Structures are given as C-alpha cells and as structure tokens.
Amino acid sequence: MTKWLSTEQQQAWRGLMHLTSQLQTVLGRQLQDDYGISLADYEVLGRLHDGPGDGLRARDLGATLGWEQSRLSHQLSRMQRRGLVEREECLTDRRGATFRLTPAGRTAIEEAAPGHVEAVRTMVFDALSAEQVTHLAELTDTLVSHLAGADRTG
C-alpha cells in the first residue's frame, strides 16, 4: 500500500523540484549568454580545473558529478569537439581514458567562474540568512549522504 506524502511533504517536494528547475534554467542561460558554455560544460570544466594537474579518469569525473556513464561520454565528446577538453588513453587500463582541460577550456572556466559565482550569490545566498545557509548545507549533506547509502544498497 502506498504511503502518500503529507501536505507539508508535497509542498516541500514540489518546492524543491521547482527551485532546482528554475536555478538550472536561469544559471544555464546566464552561462550560455555571457560565456557561450552550458551549465553541464561549466560543471565538467570546474571539476577538471580543480582536479589534479594531470587530468581525471572519466570514471572518477563521472563519480564526482554523479552522472551516468552515457551522459558523461556524450558531454565529453561534445566538449572535445569544441576544443574545451582533451582525451588521453590510460596507459594502465586500455578501457580507461583521462580528460584534461585544453588552454581554451581553462580560459572558459576562468572567465566564467566570477560571473557564475556572482549569479549564484545573487539568486541564492543573498536571499538567505547565515543561519538559513547553515541549515541548507546540513539538509543537502544529509540528503546526499542518504542517497549515496541508498545507491549502495539498492
């Protein structure tokens, strides 16, 4: 028998879905309009920029993003064609590949990051008190940990 959501749970769930959808749309539009990259491009570029200097294995990159392998593969192929990332075969595992930023990719993330951070600050953090930011961080950490545990068990 289905245990339906309470009215408050429905409100919270629908609010969360609406919020994430709006943020992805608005932040994606800002990156595309101002820097010519998508939100997915930005996420990949950011992980590669902040990762080790010799690049990241595709499987490790996918794990840090929480993306399925097929989504990551398509995204990396598009970015490679646009000259933002480069692929290098892994010497220790013939099935693996390492990706790193190209000079154009490094320029793209370094130019986009300040404007993106400002947009995030304006759209999210300027509307919250310091206490609300702490609660938001606690809530997201709890949910991410819960999902990680559920992914291992199911």
Q: What is the DSSP string of 73-113?
A: HHHHHHHHHTTSEEEEE-SS-TT-EEEEE-HHHHHHHHHHH
Walk along the chain (154 residues) in steps of 10 and give the mean pLDDT of each run. Answer: 96 97 96 97 96 86 92 96 92 80 96 97 97 97 88 56
**What burial class does residue 30 get, using C-beta atoms within 10 Å of its C-beta: 0-12 exposed, 13-18 middle, 19+ buried?**
buried
pLDDT at 86: 96
